[in-house]
Structure 1
């Protein structure tokens, strides 16, 4: 199709489709949404349609079949731009005798095969149809760069599963409140008028230190959840707390500071030229450098955030540990209780020590964890819901236990953790692995 040929870049394709849409649907794909494609499922298989979406008007109205009244159906021809095909026979099927079981069926299996956990389905209603199709859909693998862009554009939080959006939402989500944004705009305008833009750049040239950002994020979490301390024994779901603080709250705070800093830098570049066209061309190298620096700074911050909050939780919970202790050729994030006990005490028992590493996302980096045996358990903590079955199998072979937030270990979550006995929740880590099996690693109360 001409439309597909003109939009070979996937992100360009997404933006073009959003511009043609009246309403958008974003859904994080569960295993059941995609496993049928890996198992050779037929054309009747498809993705699950949540009740709230089914009743929202996004899809055509359902009608009961005369021969089987408990089955309600609606035809919904669909456009799949990644394959360039229109499925004129696709539609939704709802079984009213099975609670809320409803699926969108007769769709391209190849798009759903081999997906990473927690991948995305993005779709929309077309203002102008593509042939008979008034709906379009794309599948975005969670390991692809477009997934990160999508999550950033819609400001997706860690507890998100599905939602409907307006095309106007599909822009860089504002990280500051309207009145704060207005104040920043006024401050930049004033600096440009009176020639003090250099002073303003200097004023906001540095972001708060990682420790300051982390403390501010934990304080916000404690206030909103009405708890006094970041204590794993007092917080019902400590893993979910770690995930929320490191991936949502701190990032939101960081983006407020980042927007202020980068907006002023860009304003300075633009102000150096008297025409927009000149600024766009001659100022491009400077702006490119600004945005490259912003991207690198984000990645650097994200890598340390989770580790910082986990250290704070261990400290508040009275867990004995030494951070970044050298063991052989490696430097794990946390050695419990200390380097001397783990590496030098030859008389201790297996349960008298443990190694705990922290990775915000796993990818292949978990293999950096030591494979040397120190007569103790090795735990790997993460808030990543995208770990593949293959990686989980490799972790088990390496005798490394994965520790994840409580919500990611639940049965209906999009991750692959529920049935894996080598994956435990943070609640289980603190209660079972520390309090019950290794009480010597806790400070006496």
Structure 2
């Protein structure tokens, strides 16, 4: 009897962890448009997901052999288990067309799992130590808008520029956000505090995270040191959007997690130490533990939005862009008005190009339609580092005459997003060079 695990969201993560524990090796891939478009009505001819060359040449899949009738086609049977539908595909396999460069696909798979996915969704699979019937491999499709996607990205510490990789099950247990020496030092510190009765003092020591400004500055300094750049200037950085994405999504979050671990580990240690056995700690301490982790989740989400906005403000300032932050325009408060609130709202004699509105959203799952419903005789731009914006949302933005600004790598043709063919989506490089320097030079201090 088949089980539809897609209808049991609470079981999804437990199912993933159980399959990971049974695996020898793991394969994670961010699905491109072509990986899933064939499953939608009117989609392409392709029937399966693309297998990258390095994965094909690894020992994750069976060895490929040329067909006798068509030796340029190399293939291997690879029965696969798809737990979300409960089925085993005995006829699935790898097919490589050696006369077409690196074109290689895993074919004959459940189309329903790939239909209707949000952009930048995930394919997670593994090679099983003990097969599931005839299947030595399993695969699950994880929609990018799901809770499981968020857990997956956190567990493996997925970076913004990730596309695919192979992992060991040990990697899946938890990507460490601090070095081994730091972890050992923190453990010793907590142990000593519990023995000496000074846990409250240790909680006070780690209870305050650095301010958002401090975290942001530390992240930008880390980026500039690595990139060999002097200032966070969009004119000096070749790909300013990629820099914003790297700093806000990866570098600052990594710094934040180090501070967060100390804070939350001490809080959890106090709860667990208040009970005489693990079972009692799990049962009686659950309300306190739940509160700790709920607070951690809320704090992370709040931090993410403020982080991106702060880095964008720093880049505008370093680039000599005239702006005013959080200025009130009618019933709205956009993140940035260029050059200032008075010019945008009060100057009736200015031209369309003499002003602009720029809002920042880390993810467009936020309510971007709150940006403005009013018109102030200027262009409206929405900056984001989100690679998961749907075709429907892009159409809504176009209808609202709001131009989406994204990192340069997300606008590339080979990317997993829908941005490349959308003329209403521009890169940060285009925003600074075309929309500001060429069309609106008066918005620059040198203009």
- 1:152 aligned to which of 151, 154, 178: 154
Whether 1:268 and 2:270 are equivalent positions in the alignment is yes
| 1:10-21 alignment, distance < 5 Å | 10-21=12-23
2: CA distance, partners of 1:14 / 1:4: 14
Whether the 8 Å CA contact 1:43–1:106 is kept in 2: the answer is no
2: CA distance, partners of 1:316 / 1:260: 33
State the shift of 1:274 in Å. Answer: 2.4
What's the secondary structure of 2:39's corresponding residue? helix
Whether the 8 Å CA contact 2:38–2:46 is kept in 1: the answer is no
| 1:384-399 alignment, distance < 5 Å | 384-399=386-401
- 1:286 aligned to which of 285, 288, 302: 288
- 2:131 aligned to which of 125, 129, 142: 129
What's the secondary structure of 1:311's corresponding residue? helix
Normalized against structure 1, the TM-score is what?
Answer: 0.98
What's the secondary structure of 1:170's corresponding residue? helix
Whether the 8 Å CA contact 1:43–1:107 is kept in 2: the answer is no
Say which is worse superposed, 330-339 or 361-370, in terms of deviation: 361-370
2: CA distance, partners of 1:10 / 1:394: 32
- 1:372 aligned to which of 374, 396, 401: 374
The answer for the alignment partner of 1:111 in structure 2 is 113
- 1:402 aligned to which of 401, 404, 407: 404
2: CA distance, partners of 1:234 / 1:39: 45
State the shift of 1:4 in Å. Answer: 6.9
1: CA distance, partners of 2:193 / 2:109: 55
Whether the 8 Å CA contact 2:34–2:44 is kept in 1: the answer is no
Matched residue count: 445
State the shift of 1:171 in Å. Answer: 2.1
2: CA distance, partners of 1:42 / 1:234: 41
Deviations 1:166-187 (Å, cap 9, x if unpaired)? 1111123211111111111111
State the shift of 1:105 in Å. Answer: 0.4
Whether the 8 Å CA contact 1:43–1:105 is kept in 2: the answer is no
Whether the 8 Å CA contact 1:44–1:106 is kept in 2: the answer is no
Q: 1:107 to 1:41 in 2, by over 3 A?
A: farther
2: CA distance, partners of 1:42 / 1:330: 42
Q: 1:156 to 1:282 in 2, by over 3 A?
A: same
What is the RMSD of the two structures over their aligned residues, measured on CA atoms? 1.6
What's the secondary structure of 2:173's corresponding residue? coil
State the shift of 1:364 in Å. Answer: 5.3
Whether 1:225 and 2:218 are equivalent positions in the alignment is no
The answer for the alignment partner of 1:348 in structure 2 is 350
- 2:66 aligned to which of 59, 64, 67: 64
In the alignment, structure 2 segments of 5+ residues that lack a partner are: none
In the alignment, structure 1 segments of 5+ residues that lack a partner are: none
